[in-house]
């Protein structure tokens, strides 16, 4: 199960942005990415159906990202891995998916990899699909529910949310699924698990009273090529960050005609929105 700790951009206050126009992370609480919680619920439901199965949650981030790993343990995950390393810092989606795919290789290929559709900070929806590419397995995005998993035939049937409806898709195992926010919400934390795993910590958190160690890996632990990690492995360069104010008066209606589409492309190229 793939998870990310994100700043809570859903309740943005006046101090959410710095005067320079970047995200003021200290003003936004760090939370479990909401769609990753939907994904965790899907994983837990599979575990309910197949009691012998295990769920390992993987996240990449700063040591404090261990908070969401503990949260996942409180809710029923069996195991957690924190990928944290200076060499992994500043990663874009490409470098992130590379590091995560290397961690998965180290864990061993599971039957199913589940993650949220996208994170609320970047909104790219790229990491899941890229992980599948790098592991060379099938993927189904926008999954709303996992309907059936056949162990013998090694296939999974899922319902996928699409514009104007749903489609039911079958995929061979192993595969990667990304889950939408319209899927079932995650179950609550469990009292006994909280009392147990509150004592779990990753070494880099420096907690003295930790009783249970959360697995922590750096780039070297997962045999990652440093050129493909962190800033070095990230072709995405942020040119500038701007405050955008949406103005309703700018909206316009387009038809599906070739002329309209062409004029839209030209306009978007001119404004550097694409290209």
Contacting residues toward another protein, per CB under 8 A: 187-196, 198
CB of 229 to another protein, least distance (A): 34
Q: Which of 115, 121, 141 minimizes the C-alpha distance to 55?
A: 115
The 10 Å Cβ neighbour count of residue 229 is: 25
Pick the closer one to another protein by CB: 41 or 92. Answer: 41
**What letters, b where the CB count within 10 A reaches 16 and e where it falls short, cover 134-166?**
bbebebbbbbbbbeebeeeeeebebbbbeeeee
Largest CA-CA distance found in the chain, in angstroms, rounded: 67
Q: How far apart are the C-alpha atoms of 180 and 141, rounded to whole Å?
A: 8
1 token code pair: 């199960």
Pick the closer one to another protein by CB: 85 or 205. Answer: 205
CB of 83 to another protein, least distance (A): 26
Kindly state the DSSP code that residue 19 receives in the 8-state scheme: T
Pick the closer one to another protein by CB: 154 or 199. Answer: 199
Pick the closer one to another protein by CB: 152 or 208. Answer: 208
- The whole-angstrom distance between residue 199's C-alpha and the CA centroid of its chain comes to 25
CB of 78 to another protein, least distance (A): 14
CB of 185 to another protein, least distance (A): 8
Residue 82's beta-bridge partner residues? 59, 216
Pick the closer one to another protein by CB: 111 or 121. Answer: 121
CB of 193 to another protein, least distance (A): 8
CB of 40 to another protein, least distance (A): 13
Helix, strand, or coil (residue 50): coil
Q: Which residue has the tokens 């059936």?
A: 148
For the chain, the first-to-last Cα distance in angstroms comes to: 34
Residue 56's beta-bridge partner residues? 79
Pick the closer one to another protein by CB: 51 or 235. Answer: 51
Pick the closer one to another protein by CB: 53 or 190. Answer: 190
CB of 35 to another protein, least distance (A): 16
Kindly report the CA angle at 121 between 115 and 122, in degrees rounded to 5? 75
């Amino acid at each position: 199960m793939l998870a990310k700790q994100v700043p809570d951009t859903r309740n943005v206050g006046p101090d959410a942005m710095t005067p320079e126009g970047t995200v003021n992370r200290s003003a936004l609480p760090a939370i479990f990415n909401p769609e990753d919680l939907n994904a965790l619920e899907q994983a837990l439901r599979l575990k309910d159906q197949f009691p012998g199965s295990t769920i390992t949650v993987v996240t990449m981030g700063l040591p404090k990202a261990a908070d969401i790993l503990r949260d996942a343990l409180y809710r029923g995950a069996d195991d957690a891995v924190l990928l944290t390393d200076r060499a992994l810092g500043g990663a874009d989606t490409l470098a992130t998916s590379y590091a995560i795919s290397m961690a998965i290789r180290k864990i061993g290929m599971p039957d199913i990899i589940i993650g949220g559709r996208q994170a609320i900070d970047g909104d790219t929806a790229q990491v899941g699909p890229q992980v599948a590419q790098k592991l060379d397995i099938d993927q189904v995005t926008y999954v709303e529910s996992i309907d059936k998993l056949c162990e013998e035939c090694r296939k999974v049937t899922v319902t996928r949310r699409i514009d104007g409806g749903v489609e039911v898709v079958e995929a061979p195992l192993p595969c990667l699924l990304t889950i939408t926010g319209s899927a079932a919400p995650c179950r609550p934390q469990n009292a006994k698990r909280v009392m147990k795993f509150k004592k779990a910590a990753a070494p880099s958190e420096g907690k003295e009273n930790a009783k249970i160690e959360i697995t922590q890996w750096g780039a070297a632990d997962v045999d990652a090529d440093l050129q493909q990690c962190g800033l070095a492995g990230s072709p995405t360069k942020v040119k500038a960050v701007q405050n955008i104010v949406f103005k309703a008066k700018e909206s316009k209606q387009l038809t599906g005609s070739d002329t309209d589409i062409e004029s839209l492309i030209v306009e978007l190229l001119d404004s550097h929105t694409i290209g």
